[in-house]
Amino acid sequence: MKSTISEHLEKILQNLPKIPWVYQMKDTKGGVMYVGKAKSLKSRVGSYFVKTNDLSVAKRQMVAKIADIEIITCQTEVEALVLETNIIKHLTPKYNILMKDDKNLAYLKITNSPVPELIKTRQKIRDGGIYFGPYVSAVEQSVRALRRIFRIRNCRVKFAKRNDNIQVTDKAGRTLPCIDYYIGLCPAPCMLHSSKIDEHSSNIARVQAFLSGESSTVFADLEANMRSRAENQEFEEAQSIKETITALRGLHERQKVRDIVDGDIDVCIQYEKYDKTYIALTQVRWAQIIGVFRHEVASSIDEWEDIMIAFLMRQYVSIDEADTPDFPDILLCPKDFVDTAFVEFLKWQKIQLEIPKIWPKKNLLDFTRDQLREYAYKRELATLENKSLTRAHMVNVLERLSYPVPAKWEIVFECYDISHTDGHFTYASRVAIVNGKPDPSRYRKYKIKTLDDGMIDDYASHREVMMRRTIEGIEQDNLPHLIIIDGGKWQLSSAVSGIKEGIWKSKNEPIDPSSQTEHSIPSWSVSIQVSENIEHGFLHPKDTSFGAPTQEWQIPIPPICSIAKREEEIFIPSSSVPILFEHGTPELMVLQKARDESHRFSITANRSARTKAMKKNILEELPGIGPVTRRKLLKLAGSVNGIKDISSAEISKICNIAQVETLRDHGII
């Protein structure tokens, strides 16, 4: 079907040339709606008005509003590509705005002030400030750490330069100098002494060098200063610098690439999931990951290559001569580009396009893909969170999995996840979803007891927790209507083995049916026959083939499934084929919500145990620190972390010189 167009547009289409030009599609008010480029302008623009039923919804909406088309002559395809990008950046037409910003990204900024600040911001504007990033997490923590380590001001006092002199124009309600000066966190440039302003400027310069990747210079200066202080027997100052170096190295390591790569590298990945398209760019400079851009593509007008090129050109082309693009030496992508103009542009800018197949560059590609998958997953969850979940949705889940549905009362789903730290502090979590809503009163955490410390075995962990939960459920009559395991079919198999083991261990103490009410035994309970060879059978609500029975019980056996995160596949014991719920449905969200809540809760349990163990044991492990000294320190500080805040004079009243040195050597003070 050919669309109905005006005589004006008809004449324009008839006279379009077959050469590289840039075109702008305008509405009735003369506003530019879309900017594009084409190798053959006549073929590309004409395609919008032929067989419009084959176009996407967004493209049909745009075509219906076109009142005029303006064309710009170009000599080459590369020139057309650059011009198209410049116009889009300048005009930001409605149908060219492909990406929605990731609101989780933030920048570190050194302000353009006579006495600069280091602040966090989510907007990068031309205000004379120096920006670093964007960063995806821990920005507030980094700002606090850098302010403390480099001794730069943490205040909103405003300064101005008048007649070559710096003046305070707004104290921001503070008494100058503030407490930071007296505890050694700021040189107090607000006192307007030239030496203090110079010291603060020097500290800002070191921050800038550190964030710019010149960390080796910063570390060399600090280490030289530390040695000089030690030689002059200024031991407290030397120790303070040593702690600064340690803190900086920790901050520095969080930004390092795992494997060293040569040159400045950009990594670009596209990912389609949940009926949407996502795109990400990782920037590597000085062998460090300095930024990760992640976006959801909001327009469905262009194909994947068009979107990739549009995104990358917005990175590499500037409409302002003062805003110099940050070109990499190498661009890593999962596959080659067909667009010859873009390939020529990369050659023109001396950017080498690579499709990595082996490490370490392949690791960067995988890293970017994993970041994008997680971003897409979290955005989808945020969308689903707006939907209200009910008991009816849980009923639908049970029916879809071919499990019995209780006729009345509440429906309970439980989900289990395992968390550990390199095999230490291994915990399982249990969360409960009741009639569509989380019920924290039923949450539990299980410390895994059957694994040796340092041993990693998620399968054994699932088996243990299911065995313990089954015994508890039989004894307390509180088994859920569905158990959800975070993992794939192998985690499910281990969980099923644990349930069978739990029944086996409970078989000598059967439940007395007469002691149970109609409400306490779910209507879908089944009779199973328990025998000596139960461990060789396959547990299923309808399975009674365990051999010659020794006794028969009526036990509510909970149905069970697992959910694999990457493709959201649902596995059940009676089928080797995964069940796929339609994406975006409340039924799938019930399972996702349970899985994500159990993951969060298990990590919390692991972290809590880790922190408790550290606080409990570190003082006990220090040589020369006896129980009396430990008690006095903890009573005064409140915690191990609080010891850092105790003054040297107070610590000297509790500890002798050797003990003070031990505390310093181990980073306690």
**DSSP 3-state of 433:** strand
Task: Report if residue 348 sits inside a domain.
Answer: yes
Task: Report if residue 306 sits inside a domain.
Answer: no
DSSP string, 34-71: EEEEESSHHHHHHGGGSSGGGS-HHHHHHHHH--EEEE
Say yes or no: 123 and 84 in one domain: no
Average the pLDDT over each of 158-162, 264-268, 377-381, 412-416 and give the range with the smallest value: 377-381
- One-letter amino acid identity for 586? P
Say yes or no: 439 and 541 in one domain: yes
Supply the DSSP symbol for 190: G
Say yes or no: 92 and 113 in one domain: no
Lookup result for tokens 């790569």: 261
Average the pLDDT over each of 16-30, 217-231, 527-541, 546-560 and give the range with the smallest value: 527-541
Say yes or no: 650 and 573 in one domain: no
Task: Report if residue 628 sits inside a domain.
Answer: yes
Q: What is the mean pLDDT of the chain?
A: 78
pTM for this one? 0.45
Domain of residue 571: give its range: 391-603
The number of folded domains in the chain is: 5
Which residue, 67, 97, 127, sits at the end of a domain? 97
Say yes or no: 137 and 193 in one domain: yes
Say yes or no: 360 and 240 in one domain: no
Say if residue 335 is exposed, middle or buried (CB neighbours under 10 Å; 0-12, 13-18, 19+): exposed
pLDDT digits (tens, 9 = 90+) for 343-368: 999 999 999 999 988 777 888 888 88
Reported for 527-535, long-range contacts at CB under 8 A and 24+ positions apart, including other chains, are 527/552, 527/553, 527/554, 528/503, 528/552, 528/553, 528/555, 528/557, 530/503, 530/504, 534/500, 534/503, 534/504, 534/507, 535/500, 535/501, 535/504
Could you tell me which residues come within 8 angstroms of residue 520 by beta carbon, excluding any fewer than 6 positions away?
477
Say yes or no: 536 and 435 in one domain: yes
| pLDDT confidence band for 534 (50 / 70 / 90) | very low
In whole angstroms, what is the distance from residue 53 CA to residue 50 CA?
9
Task: Report if residue 273 sits inside a domain.
Answer: yes
**Which phi and psi (to 5°) does residue 340 adopt?**
-65, -30
Task: Report if residue 208 sits inside a domain.
Answer: yes
pLDDT digits (tens, 9 = 90+) for 253-279: 544 444 456 678 999 999 887 778 889
| H/E run at residue 522 | none
Do the beta carbons of residue 62 and residue 34 sit within 8 Å? yes
In whole angstroms, what is the distance from residue 346 CA to residue 20 CA?
18
- One-letter amino acid identity for 510? P
Say yes or no: 440 and 564 in one domain: yes
Higher pLDDT, 240 or 426: 426
Say yes or no: 417 and 468 in one domain: yes
DSSP string, 560-609: EEEEETTTTEEEETTEEEEE-PPTT-HHHHHHHHHHHHHHHHHHHHHHHH
pLDDT digits (tens, 9 = 90+) for 78-100: 767 777 776 777 777 888 766 55
Say yes or no: 246 and 283 in one domain: no
In whole angstroms, what is the distance from residue 369 CA to residue 335 CA?
13
In this structure, are strands 437-438 and 330-332 parallel, antiparallel, or unpaired?
A: unpaired
Say yes or no: 404 and 544 in one domain: yes
SS3 per-residue string spanning 287-320: CEEEEEEEEEECCCCCCHHHHHHHHHHHHHCCCC
* Chain-centre distance for alpha carbon 295: 13
Higher pLDDT, 585 or 42: 585
Dump strand ranges (E) for 379-421.
412-421
Q: What percent of the chain has pLDDT over 90?
A: 20
DSSP string, 99-151: EE--TT-EEEEE-SSSS--EEEES---SSS-EEEEEESS-HHHHHHHHHHHHT
Count CA within 13 A, CB hemisphere, residue 427: 20
If you average pLDDT over residues 150-160, what whole number do you get?
89
Say yes or no: 424 and 572 in one domain: yes
Q: Which two three-digit tokens encode residue 20? A: 């590289």
pLDDT digits (tens, 9 = 90+) for 364-396: 888 888 878 878 877 776 666 656 788 999 999
Task: Report if residue 132 sits inside a domain.
Answer: yes
In whole angstroms, what is the distance from residue 607 CA to residue 532 CA?
41
The pLDDT value recorded for residue 52 is 60
Supply the DSSP symbol for 256: B
Closest to 297 measured CA to CA, from 261, 315, 271, 316: 271
- Among 228-242, 269-283, 360-374, 472-486, top mean pLDDT goes to 472-486
Q: What is the CATH number of the domain that holds 83?
A: 3.40.1440.10
| pLDDT confidence band for 2 (50 / 70 / 90) | very low
In whole angstroms, what is the distance from residue 227 CA to residue 219 CA?
12
Supply the DSSP symbol for 415: E
Could you tell me which residues come within 8 angstroms of residue 552 by beta carbon, excluding any fewer than 6 positions away?
527, 528, 529, 530
Farthest CA pair distance, the chain: 101
List Cα–Cα distances, 229 to 83, 240, 583, in angstroms: 58, 10, 63
Task: Report if residue 301 sits inside a domain.
Answer: no
Do the beta carbons of residue 319 and residue 89 sit within 8 Å? yes
Task: Report if residue 307 sits inside a domain.
Answer: no
List beta partners, residue 295. 279
Average the pLDDT over each of 239-248, 534-543, 568-577, 617-626 and give the range with the smallest value: 534-543
The pLDDT value recorded for residue 576 is 84
In whole angstroms, what is the distance from residue 6 CA to residue 66 CA?
10
Neighbour tally for 524: CB within 10 Å: 17
Do the beta carbons of residue 417 and residue 601 sit within 8 Å? yes
Q: What is the CA radius of gyration of the chain?
A: 32
Which residue, 97, 121, 149, sits at the end of a domain? 97
